[in-house]
Structure 1
Amino acid sequence: MRNWGESDIPDQTGKRVLVTGGASGIGYEAARALAEQGAHVIIADRNMEAGAAAVQRIRTKRPDAVVEFRPLDLGSLKAVRDFAAALLVEGQVLDTLINNAGIQPISERRTSADGFELTFAIGHLGHFALTGLLLRLLERSVAGRIVTVSSMVHGGGKFDWDDLQMTKAYSSQRAYNQTKLANLLFARELAARLERLGSKLRSIAVHPGVAQTSIGANRKQLGAFHLGDYMVSAVLSLVMPFLGQPASAGALPTMFAASAEGAVNGGFFGPDGFGEMKGAPAPARIKPAAQDMAAAARLWAVTEKLTGLSYLD
Structure 2
Amino acid sequence: MHIALLALDGVFDTGLTVILDAFGIANRFAAMQKSGGPLFEVSLVGTRRKVRSGLGLPLPVQAITANLKPDWVIVAALNTSTPDRLIPALARKDVVDAKTQLLAWHAQGARIAASCIGSFVLAETGLLDHQQATTTWWLAPLFRQRYPKVALDESRMLVPSGNVVTAGAAMGHLDLALWLIRQRSPELASMVSRYLLADIRSSQAPYIIPNHLAQADPLILRFERWAREQLKHGFSLQQAADALATSARTLQRRCQAVLGKSPLDYFQDLRVERARALVQGSGMDLEAIAAEVGYADGATLRTLLRERLGRGVRELRADLR
TM-score, normalised with respect to structure 1: 0.36
TM-score w.r.t. structure 2 length?
0.36
Structure with greater Cα Rg: 2
Whose relative contact order is higher, 1 or 2, with alpha carbons under 8 Å and at least 6 apart? 1
